[in-house]
């Protein structure tokens, strides 16, 4: 089984009413606070949130930052829209596919990929597209779960993955495979939730300082 946009639309329509109250409140919140701290958006910057979901990251944006949040799921976007407006943080929400972003090249200072590279059908295409939207010197921060690079997902993980795929996430992806196809480099990588199964990673275009 592979995750598809068709399945993700269904899965995240089902997730949307309970996502913030269940998953975010009891699990993901510390990881997303840390990823925003690593991204460290500055007043005046434009930030792209790919797979913005219910917009759980939006209230963490500092004042003065302009944001665009894109997601495939109308139901998740409706939850994000309910969090707006945010004082001094203009946010635009768009429906679209992370694999073919309907956004211009070199238009964002920074991007957040929280819990999305393990969800979209093609994580490498999502990263490539996000890199395309970055201005020179831009940065991406990822908070997500990955199988360690160089390791094959074990039988237990592959078995559990049959269940997590049903819920719209793949726990067998390796960040190294996703990054390999793009002109970029990892400049920061730290363990996060579940004893490092989740990681917070900063990625920069290969040609940046």
Ligand X SMILES: C[S@@+](CC[C@H](N)C(=O)[O-])C[C@H]1O[C@@H](n2cnc3c(N)ncnc32)[C@H](O)[C@@H]1O
Q: Which of 91, 115, 141, 201 binds ligand X (CB under 6 A)?
A: 115
- Are the CB atoms for 114 and 35 separated by under 8 Å? yes
Q: Out of 65, 114, 133, 198, point to the residue binding ligand X (CB under 6 A).
A: 114
Contact 98, 70 (CB under 8 A): yes
| Range list of H helices, the chain | 5-15, 29-39, 74-81, 123-133, 155-166, 175-180, 193-196
Question: Six-digit token pair at 108?
Answer: 């964002």
The SS3 assignment for 195 reads helix
Nearer to ligand X, 107 or 208 (CB): 107
Nearer to ligand X, 164 or 208 (CB): 164
Residue whose structure tokens are 């399945």:
7
Q: How many CB atoms lie within 10 A of CB 139?
A: 21
| 201 in contact with ligand X (CB under 6 A) | no
Closest distance of CB 162 from ligand X, Å:
18
> Does the protein bind ligand X through residue 111 (CB under 6 A)?
no
Cβ closer to ligand X: 52 or 178? Answer: 52
Helix H, strand E, coil C: the string for 138-160 is EEEEEEEECCCCCCCCCHHHHHH
153 touching ligand X, by CB under 6 A: no
- List 84, 99, 135, 197, residue binding ligand X (CB under 6 A): 99
Cβ at position 152, least distance to ligand X in Å = 24
Between residue 16 and residue 75, which ones bind ligand X under the rule CB under 6 A? 32, 51-53, 56-57, 71-73
Binding residues vs ligand X (CB under 6 A): 5, 8, 12, 32, 51-53, 56-57, 71-73, 76, 97-99, 114-116, 119-120
């Amino acid at each position: 089984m592979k995750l598809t946009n068709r399945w993700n639309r269904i899965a995240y329509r089902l997730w949307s009413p309970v996502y913030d109250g269940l998953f975010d409140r009891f699990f993901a919140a510390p990881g997303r606070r840390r990823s925003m701290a690593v991204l460290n958006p500055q007043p005046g910057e434009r930030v792209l949130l790919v797979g913005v979901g219910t917009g759980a990251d939006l209230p963490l944006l500092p004042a003065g930052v302009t944001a665009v949040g894109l997601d495939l799921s109308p139901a998740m976007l409706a939850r994000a829209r309910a969090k707006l407006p945010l004082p001094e943080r203009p946010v635009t929400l768009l429906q679209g596919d992370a694999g073919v972003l309907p956004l211009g090249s070199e238009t964002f200072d920074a991007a957040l990929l929280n819990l999305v590279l393990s969800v979209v059908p093609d994580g490498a295409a999502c990263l490539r597209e996000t890199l395309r939207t970055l201005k020179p010197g831009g940065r991406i921060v990822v908070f997500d779960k990955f199988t360690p690079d160089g390791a094959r997902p074990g039988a237990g993980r592959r078995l559990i993955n049959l269940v997590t795929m049903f819920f719209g996430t793949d726990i067998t992806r390796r960040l190294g495979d996703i990054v390999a196809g793009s002109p970029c480099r990892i400049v920061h990588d730290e363990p996060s939730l579940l004893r490092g199964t989740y990681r917070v990673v900063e990625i920069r275009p290969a040609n940046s300082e």
